[in-house]
Amino acid sequence: MTIFERENFLGRNVELCDDYPSLQAMGWCGPEVGSMHVQCGAFVCYEFPGYKGRQYIMECERHSGDFQHWRNWGSHSQTPQIQSIRRIQH
């Protein structure tokens, strides 16, 4: 998956393929993610570090893997804050 700093796949971006208990510890610029693209598989994004807080399941089958705005993450999305990500293993 690729995460982007701003909505519509703009700004700084980084490609992720593993579990990240803290995006900021790996060098991400802040507590928020503006948009993301899931190339394959599925990931769980968490509001806080350490896999805590609200969870959003991001799958390549949903929206063709394109989530161009944080409001596309799910019906309960209330914030662009994503601070940890875990890959779902099948």
For residue range 43-59, list pLDDT tens digits in order: 999 999 999 999 999 99
Domain range for 8: 2-88
Query: pLDDT of 12-48, one tens digit each?
Result: 999 999 999 999 999 998 899 999 999 999 999 999 9
Into how many domains does the chain fold?
1
Torsion of CA 22, 69, 3, 90, to 10 degrees: 80
CATH number for 69: 2.60.20.10
